[in-house]
Amino acid sequence: MKTFMLLGLLSLTFAVSISNQGTLSNPTSRVERIMSKFMQLSEMSTQFNFNKLFDAIDQLSAQLKQSEVDENNLFDADFAQYVEDQAFYTDLVTFYTAEVAQHTEDLRSLNNHLESYQQQLTQRQEELDRTQKQKAQLEETIRQNEITYNKQISDFNTAIDVLDQAIQLLSGLRNPVLIQTEQDQLKTLAGKFSSINLKNHRVLYQPIIDIFMQLSQNNLANQDLLKKVLGMLNGLRNSLDGGRNALTSNYNSERASNLELLESYTKKIDALVNEVIPMLQDLIANTIEQIKVKTELLNNAQANLDEAKETLQFIEDRWVKRKAQHAALLAEYEKEQALIAQTITVLQRGGVRRQ
């Protein structure tokens, strides 16, 4: 632009210089007009001093050279800033990429832990439900066993009491002929034996019932028969007493085992209700909170990463534009310098020189 201004100045100088000599006839273009003016300047070179014109041309050339130097210096400064900015935002991209990857991995781990805790909580709740049912069933078993034991002990006690009565009655018989009271007592004892619910010993006392009935019906008290019956009664009593003791021993052993198992159920339920399940619930709540915090951190890191990438891309695009601008300016400076050199050559060829 400065070169064209110079050409304009040359044109204006020429126009002033020849204002009293008339104008050229209808030049066809701006270049032709300028060249025509240069020819006339050449003819007038002996009449005018063109040193100021050459000084102006030199000044313009020096300004162009300085502008080129300034542009190169500015370009170098811009390049240094570009390198610094590129390194800074590249490091930021690397940092936030690593941070996003770490937060993503942490979230994956936290979600896996949460899933594991939830599964464990479900299992422990199912275990609690199962143990509570087992405890309830065992408590019912203990209650039913106690009822059955008390009924069986009562039957044993009743049977042994009847046997004691029978033994006492038969041991006191001395008269072969039974009196009516003794007959009635024998019938009563036979009835009591019949009502005893000891199925496992039925085979032992059923013959005694039959003998009692025979004695009460035949009105006989044979000593040999009585000894035989007394022996059977004592044997049965010993058997029943042994059965009662075995029943009590087995009941107590089973009860102790059941009570021990019941205590283990109670401890297990207490541990699940008061320790394990609350602990898992706390772990789940804490993990959910950590996931929320970590998700927010991930979102922030991702936003920072996106911004750093955008800024880095902006820096790259800006540098591409700056390089293109620099190349265009240098080309323009070179073009203007060439045009100035061409102008000087034309002037010199036209006889216009420094004086």
In whole angstroms, what is the distance from residue 4 CA to residue 339 CA?
Answer: 9
What is the pLDDT, as a whole number, of residue 57?
Answer: 83
What is the pLDDT, as a whole number, of residue 256?
Answer: 97
In whole angstroms, what is the distance from residue 266 CA to residue 328 CA?
Answer: 90
What is the pLDDT, as a whole number, of residue 22?
Answer: 38
What is the pLDDT, as a whole number, of residue 26?
Answer: 42
Task: Quickly count: other Cβ atoms within 10 Å of residue 353's Cβ.
Answer: 12
Q: Which of 169, 167, 187, 182 is nearest to 232 (CA)?
A: 167
Give the pLDDT confidence of 136-172 residue by residue, as tens digits: 999 999 999 999 999 989 888 988 888 888 888 777 7
Q: What is the DSSP letter of 200?
A: G
Q: For the chain, which ranges sit under pLDDT 70?
A: 1-48, 173-183, 190, 193-223, 355
Q: Is residue 277 classed as helix, strand or coil in its secondary structure?
A: helix
Give the pLDDT confidence of 172-220 residue by residue, as tens digits: 766 555 556 666 777 777 677 666 665 555 545 566 666 666 665 655 5
What is the pLDDT, as a whole number, of residue 23?
Answer: 38
Rounded to two decimals, the pTM is 0.65
